[in-house]
Amino acid sequence: MTRIAFVGAGSVVFTRQLLNDILSYPELSGVDIALHDIDPERLEVAAALAAHTARTLGAKPTITATTDRRTALAGADFVVNMIAVGGHQATITDFEVPAAAGLRQTIGDTLGPGGIFRALRTFPVLDAIAADMLQVCPDAWLLNYTNPMAMNIQYLAAVAPRLKVAGLCHSVYYTVKRLCEIVGVPQDEVDVLSAGVNHQAWILRWQHQGRDLYPMLDVAIAADPELARRLRIDMYRRLGYFPTESSEHGSEYVPWYLHDDREIARLRLPVDEYIRISSQNLATYTALRDTITAGGDPAGDWESTAVEYAPQIIHSLTTGTRRTIQITTANTGLITNLPDGAAVEVPATLDRLGIHPHHVGALPVQLAAPNRHFLNVVELVVAAATQGDPRHIRHAAMADPATAATLTVDEIWQLCDDMVVAHGEALPEPLRRTLPAVRGR
């Protein structure tokens, strides 16, 4: 029987969507589901939602829930990672401390101070998950949804190279869906090639029956001035290829927008957006918990078909059904003008033998340039953790495009000190030192 372990199952809405997708496949309706979370209350809610989902679909999986991670992982074929270390309060810290220094963020989970410190407090848990997996389920695939995606995948490649890991994100799917809506072409009839890094990949080819769809997008933009007031459209018009992440996300990875009030107004950039999203997620969880506690029906909205990649991977590797999806993985010559070993996002074929990333070749030079800036930050954060060197935290923040466009180097170092103090023991012990004096070496 296929065994699937969910780590961070207390992310109950996402857990419910994944379980709906998995159990919708007849071949997976009897799988063994192991739910794990460190929060007993959230775990109880997740278990109740899992049971409800199974009943709704007429599936008969075996469902267990445990706060002991090794018990959940034992014998797993697939491990789905959704942890959010520090939860809502850590998210508040990731925004409030940089904001006090004069730095704007929108999502704060990928680059910038928010992404850097989210990674540093997540790495110790990834270490523990990897160590457990190599002992109790060494052949399992770790399917990671936790951000910052590129930092987490590059870190795991460095510290646990024997672990089979794929980073998963639905941004390419929903980007293509939106683009097809704009030009009026059915999404299931288009052919797409996308590559780059997670949250900053690019739609390199987008065709319908062999016809390039970009000219149709140009016509749609010309006909609708409001479309031009979106950052992704602005970047597309300047770089020639559409970026795969939302305008909110994308604004944080380049030095061109967030430091300027006029650009924020022109492109309608929602500063502090993720604080609102995190608060909404907390309210959704609370409502689900209260409904379940009262004995009510926790029915809710979810996609009717499997659009998340983890269920597709599990189904393909179990049944041999061939599919192509997007994954984040270590660059082994897949994108030739991005650094070897860096975490890149590329297409991958799924079958019974595993996950097979595609060789893409060289990106257009104007796309590789911002990707390399992005990956400079990733490399320095991973170096900080693997070398135990707190200076590299500051180097990463200095290399971050949006941070460097806003703050002086002294302000960046002070911000890093403030973030270290604010997150305290959530960080690896060697990285908890403040560095008020600048000593180059």
Residue with tokens 């799917």: 173
3-state secondary structure at position 14:
helix
User: Known catalytic residue: 208?
Assistant: no
Catalytic residue, candidates 52, 88, 170, 358: 170
Residues 6+ away with beta carbon under 8 Å from 172: 192, 194, 201, 203, 244, 326, 345
Neighbours of 426 (CB within 10 A): 17
Q: Are 345 and 194 in contact (CB under 8 A)?
A: yes
Amino acid identity for residue 116 in this structure: I
Q: Which helix (H) or strand (E) holds 252?
A: none
3-state secondary structure at position 212:
strand
Closest Cα partner for 337 from 306, 361, 311? 361
Residue with tokens 């070398």: 387
Task: Calculate the alpha carbon distances from 367 to 75, 212, 274, 335 in Å.
Answer: 42, 19, 26, 12
**What beta strand segments (E) does 277-430 contain?**
323-330, 343-351, 354-357
**Torsion of Cα atoms, 336 then 175 then 149 then 254, to 10°:** 70
Alpha helices (H) in 110-268, listed in sequence order = 112-136, 149-159, 171-183, 214-223, 231-239, 247-250, 261-266
3-state secondary structure at position 32:
strand
Which of the residues are catalytic?
Answer: 170
